[in-house]
Amino acid sequence: AIRMTQSPSSLSASTGDRVTITCRATQDLKFRLAWYQQSPGKAPKLLIYATSSLPSGVPSRFSGSGSGTDFSLTISRLQSEDFGTYFCQQYYSNPLTFGGGTRVDMK
């Protein structure tokens, strides 16, 4: 199975900050990498797919980049509704696997 490692596991930030989360895979994902946001008590929500594509309705302050085994999610200007936990997920091969999550909370 492909192992996904996220860093940091948590961070504290203020509204307006630029935040970057990284995700590393144990093999080349051929850009098949997604990111999800989860607010407390809620189901995850798709933020980015295919490394850098935003689904309809996701604000443009979210962006994704990367290739091969190294990927990142950037929030250009953190908003209050962005606090929560973020997960990366590879869908290059089964079993589908997730990173351990990055908790973003208020400084």
Partner 1 sequence: EVQLLESGGGLVQRGGSLRLSCAAPDFIVRGNYIHWVRQAPGKGLEWVAVFYGDGGTDFADSVKGRFTIQRDSSENTLYLQMEDLRADDTAMYYCARGVLNYFDLWGQGSLVSVSS
Residues near partner 1 (CB under 8 A): 32, 34, 36, 43-46, 49, 55, 87, 89, 91, 94-101
Residue 88 Rama label (left phi>0; alpha psi -120 to 50; beta): beta
Q: Quick one: tokens of 20?
A: 């970057």
Q: How far is the CB of 98 from partner 1 (least distance, A)?
A: 4
Residue placing its CB nearer to partner 1 in the complex, 80 or 94: 94
Q: How far is the CB of 82 from partner 1 (least distance, A)?
A: 18
Residue 30 Rama label (left phi>0; alpha psi -120 to 50; beta): left
Residue placing its CB nearer to partner 1 in the complex, 82 or 90: 90
Q: How far is the CB of 49 from partner 1 (least distance, A)?
A: 5
What is the rounded CA–CA span in Å between residue 59 and residue 43? 18
Residue placing its CB nearer to partner 1 in the complex, 16 or 95: 95
Q: Rg of the chain's alpha carbons, rounded to an integer?
A: 13
- Tell me if 76 sits within 8 A of 61, measured CB to CB: yes
Residue placing its CB nearer to partner 1 in the complex, 31 or 69: 31
